Amino acid sequence: GSMTNKYAPYELYRVVKKTYGNGSKVPRATLFTLVRNSELFDILESIQRLENRFNGRMNYDWVFMNDEPFSDQFIELTSAMVSGTARYGIIPREHWSYPEWIDQDKARAVRESRKFSNIIYGSSESYRHMCRYNSMFFYKHPIMNDYDLYWRVEPNVDFMCDILEDPFRYMEETQTQYGFTIAFQEIARTVETLWERSMGYFLRNDTVKNQLPESNLLGFVSDDEGKSYNMCHFWTNFEIANLNFYRSEMYNGYVEYLDRFGGYFYERWGDAPIHSIAASLMLKPEKVHVFGNIAYRHTVSGSCPLDDELIRKARCTCDPKRDWTISSPQPCNMKYLKVSGQKTMKDFDKYVG
């Protein structure tokens, strides 16, 4: 049917369902999905899986965000699938367009030159707006003002175990700022100047530098004490974070500084290395957490709990021997464990062998 907008211009539609939990103690938290209408059936799959494994018991809100109006079909099918209130946001044009200082001919030339390269999305324009949006705008959308915590969910993801412990409550109780499952290596050609620019903000500026914590996760993103980037990043397609981390003056100073250099458009800076460099420098190690108890898969990689008892209790369908941390040729999850000192899962030693 046709939808009429009862809400502010930035909120297209809202389907209110029962509220979760018991009142004021519940985290102000939401699931969050940036998605295109054309991805409807892929996101329905992700929703069905996460509702089945977790949110069907919790009924957290689910915010859908798009640079174009959602179709009626999209709203009808997704709101029928979620157990909590579904909200549909529209991205303001200023958050999904070129800032005036960008040389669009230069940006186009870069995309053209990468048409036949093997850099994934190297020639895509929309991918660049998406990365910029996920770096510096998603948390500024007025709908997000209703929340402190968010969990990013993409189309085509799977959760292979019941999620028995509420990660939002975990974040709140432990004062964790940033949570992830998989760490990944970036394609160097997409971030050629990102490290240099990032250090230009974090280290060459005394007012910023003096506010950084003494112990941090620099060793996760750099193998030479900050001279260069090692390409490790938290895979942001799964991300549970405290929005106040992104709302902080320091984070916004960082992304606004970066934006002046146009690296989203002239290179192909991803939001994942940007979130990761920021979290690694700005947060004490204990403010970051790898959710080793959440089995998560997206495209080429998946995590699986290294805990035999949990595998049974949580009715997992994943093989712990194929968990990304222990079975991938990429070093980033292992590096994180080493640098952070976070306690590993119960049967980690057995599976690492």
Give me the residues that bind ligand GDP (CB under 6 A), please: 34-36, 39, 66-67, 126, 130, 154-155, 237
Nearer to Mn ion among residue 131 and residue 283 (C-beta): 131
Please give the single-letter amino acid code of residue 19: T
CA 69 to CA 11: how far, in whole Å? Answer: 10
Nearer to ligand GDP among residue 235 and residue 351 (C-beta): 235
CA 24 to CA 171: how far, in whole Å? Answer: 16
Q: Which does 51 bind (CB under 5 to 8 A by kind): Mn ion, ligand GDP, none?
A: none
Contact 267, 257 (CB under 8 A): no
Nearer to ligand GDP among residue 32 and residue 251 (C-beta): 32
Q: Which does 126 bind (CB under 5 to 8 A by kind): ligand GDP, Mn ion, none?
A: ligand GDP
Residue at shortest CB range from Mn ion: 154
Q: Which does 34 bind (CB under 5 to 8 A by kind): ligand GDP, Mn ion, none?
A: ligand GDP
Shortest distance in whole angstroms from residue 240 CB to Mn ion: 16
Whole-Å CA distances, 24 to 15, 87, 239: 21, 21, 24
61 torsion bin: left (phi>0), alpha (psi -120 to 50), beta (else): beta
Instruction: Please measure the distance between the N-terminal and C-terminal CA atoms of the chain and give it in whole angstroms.
Output: 57
Quick one: 11 exposed, middle or buried, by C-beta within 10 A (0-12, 13-18, 19+)?
A: middle
Using CB under 5 A as the binding criterion, the count of chain residues that bind Mn ion stands at 2
Shortest distance in whole angstroms from residue 283 CB to ligand GDP: 24
Assigned token pair, 38 = 């054309």
Nearer to ligand GDP among residue 53 and residue 128 (C-beta): 128
Nearer to ligand GDP among residue 237 and residue 301 (C-beta): 237
Shortest distance in whole angstroms from residue 265 CB to ligand GDP: 15
One symbol per residue from 224 to 263: x for binding Mn ion (CB under 5 A), - otherwise; what is it? -------------x--------------------------
186 is catalytic: no
Shortest distance in whole angstroms from residue 14 CB to ligand GDP: 18
Q: Which does 208 bind (CB under 5 to 8 A by kind): Mn ion, ligand GDP, none?
A: none
CA 124 to CA 230: how far, in whole Å? Answer: 25
154 lies in the binding site for Mn ion (CB under 5 A): yes
How do strand 149-152 and strand 29-34 relate by DSSP bridges? parallel
List helix spans (H) across the chain: 40-50, 56-58, 72-81, 104-113, 125-136, 167-174, 194-202, 206-209, 218-221, 243-247, 249-259, 263-266, 271-282, 308-313, 324-327, 332-340, 348-352
Instruction: Identify the active-site residue in 39, 154, 172, 239.
Output: 239
323 lies in the binding site for Mn ion (CB under 5 A): no
Q: Which residues contribute to the site for Mn ion (CB under 5 A)?
A: 154, 237
Q: Which residues carry out catalysis?
A: 239
